Structure 1
Amino acid sequence: MPVVTGKWSERSTGTAAPTSYVAIGDSFTEGVGDPGPDGVFVGWADRLARLLAEQAPDGFRYANLAVRGRLLGQIVDQQVPRARELAPDLVTFCAGGNDILRPGSDPDALAAQYEAALVELLTTVGTVVVCTGFDTRGFPVLRHLRGRIATYNGHLRAIADRHGCPVLDLWSLRAVQDRRAWDDDRLHLSPEGHRRVTLRCAEVLGIDLPERADAPWPQPGPAAASRRDDLLWARQHLLPWIGRRLRGESSGDHVRAKRPDLLPLRSTRQ
């Protein structure tokens, strides 16, 4: 699962390369869809941490507090205080997606909650990267949430502008509109999808890379899913997800953060 290495551009960012990074969020940041050889999910944030470790020859520390299924309120209550306590140079703050999936969610209220948490983070954290949601136009069922996601994204961009935060804009990442960027459940990224997000975040942070996040896929992608494929997906993935919602359960009920402490991460070529 290689990630292209690159060089930190202090001229682009105006800051030195970070030596500590905390990732907070839900399944997207935990890395669901990108399994490692030991059975633990890897994901874009872990990949980014390894890339950042290449820029810190004197040592780099990394924590990943993300847990699948977490709502914004849970992330704010459980992960934001811990991130503030760890006080790293860099935090990536991706949250709200699971809330948007729920009927009746209010993007305006979610954005207000997100901004309040961001202000708290900035009291001890050097840089916070604000993450937008994906464009779901090509996904059955989820395409109906596109307007709500766009509204939330608009708020997030405005919040980032008010507080001088870089934005990981996933809506504009064309490479993930390809079906190969997604896991079979169509809710989580595939390993290559996670890799593309790593590249985009590295670009946002000012790392000079020989490969671009939106580089064309090597060959044309598969044809659009058939009705039979959609029905199979609904039976295997959508209905169980709905069942958990009706029972008040979450896929992360018995899951703990995979890297809860700022621990050293060696510089390795991926």
Structure 2
Amino acid sequence: MRFAAIGDSFTEGVGDDLPDGSVRGWADLVAAGLAAGLDEPVDYVNLAIRGRLIEPIVRDQLEAALALEPQPTLISFNGGGNDMMRPGFDLDRIVGLIEHAIDRCAQEGVGLLLLSGGDPTMRLPRGAMMSDRGRIYLEAVDGILERHPEQLFVDNWSDQELRRAPYWSADRLHLGPLGHERVAARVLTALGVETDLPTSTDSAPESRRALVEAQYYARYVLPWIGRRLTRRSSGDGRTAKHPEWVRIDPTAVHRAADAPHEPGKHADP
């Protein structure tokens, strides 16, 4: 199997930080899970870059994935989350781009996995607006699936458990390690590799004291507003973390799984 992942920060793996400052994320875990579950090597590319809107994901990343030699057998595609946070949210345009991606993969004979990100809106500023947009986005995806009944879709947005605070990073926008693990398990199961869903046992209430909120706004919200005002993106100047095929060896994955590691963490495949 040759697995290529395209998308934004969700697919890049932001929030699942490694000690060296790089990120892992659900797509890396899926590649390792496929190798272990199929007991055969899996070649893996990850072209996702944080901050990307859906148009450059389809225009640039999808075409780069389809141009790989050899071609992928499977492409995962998520996009639209950054579009939902911007003025001028154009649902019809997003739907058209998703259907274009479906058509392009069909033309090339490449399998396509669509998936939505988790729903972070309960704890975000302007979360109600994003929640409404997420709802109409999913309704639009339902229409796409009616027109393309063969299309595989993993709906993480509707996962109620995934909305809880223990699955999210400190910025409240990106999944943390456990959230990425849960998405990876959902994707692997959808691909035929049955995987238990990680679940948090943490029932402690999230602190929302004034000082905590002030620190949160200073560290995460104000820089985000600054980037919007100056038309910058968190992904400016960044390149894909795995732009060429990387081989995931199932024997190495098995050894990594048997090695001791911190709860909520995985050894590198």
Please give the alpha-carbon distance, in whole angstroms, between the structure 2 residues aligned to 1:93 and 1:189.
Answer: 17
CA distance in 2, matches of 1:74, 1:169: 22
Deviations 1:7-36 (A, max 9, x none): xxxxxxxxxxxx110000001000001112
Aligned-pair identity (%) = 36
**CA-based RMSD:** 1.8
Aligned mate of 1:98, from 49, 68, 82: 82
Deviations 1:237-259 (A, max 9, x none): 01100100111111111110010
Deviations 1:143-201, CA, capped at 9 Å, x for gaps: 32111111112212332342211111012212221111111111111111111111111
- Are 2:120 and 2:172, in contact at CA under 8 Å, matched by a contact in 1? no
5+ residue gaps, structure 2: 258-269
1:79 is aligned with what amino acid? Answer: Q
Corresponding residue of 1:25? 7
Moved more, 198-207 or 186-195: 198-207
> Secondary structure of 2:107's partner?
coil
**2:140 alignment partner, one of 155, 166, 169:** 155
Give the 3 Å change call, closer, same or farther, for CA 67–190 of structure 1 in structure 2: same
> Which residue identity lines up with residue 73 of structure 2 in the other structure?
D
Unaligned stretches of 5+ in structure 1?
Answer: 1-18
Residue matched to 1:246: 229
Residue 240 of structure 2 corresponds to 257
Detail structure 1 runs of 4+ shifted over 4 Å in the superposition: none
In the alignment, the residues of structure 2 paired with residue 37 and residue 122 of structure 1 have an alpha-carbon distance, to the nearest angstrom, of: 39
Give distance in 2, aligned partners of 1:203 and 1:140.
Answer: 30
Which one is further off, 28-37 or 61-70?
28-37
Q: Secondary structure at the match of 2:14?
A: coil
Q: Deviation at 1:125?
A: 4.6
Structure 1 residues 79-124: Cα deviation after superposition (integer angstroms, max 9, x where no partner): 0101212331211100111111102212222111221122112222
- Are the aligned partners of 1:92 and 1:131 in contact in 2 as well (CA < 8 Å)? yes
Provide, for residues 17-61 of structure 1, a one-character-per-residue CA deviation record: whole Å limited to 9, x for no partner: xx1100000010000011123322100000110000113434210
Q: How does 1:49-128 map to 2 (within 5 A)?
A: 49-86=31-68, 87-128=71-112
Partner in structure 2 of residue 204 of structure 1:
190
Specify the code of the residue in structure 2 equivalent to 1:262: W
Aligned residue for 1:242, secondary structure, equals helix
Partner of 1:221: 204
- Does structure 1 residue 193 correspond to structure 2 residue 179? yes
Cα distance in 2 for partners of 1:109, 1:221 equals: 41
Measured at CA, do residues 156 and 133 of structure 1 come closer, stay the same or move farther in structure 2, by a change above 3 Å?
farther
> In the alignment, which residue of structure 2 is the partner of 1:180?
166
- Are 1:140 and 2:132 matched, yes or no? no
Given candidates 210, 216, 230, the residue that maps to 1:233 is 216
- Classify 1:38/1:124 alpha carbon distance in 2 versus 1 (closer, same or farther; 3 Å): farther
Question: Which amino acid is 1:139 matched to?
Answer: R
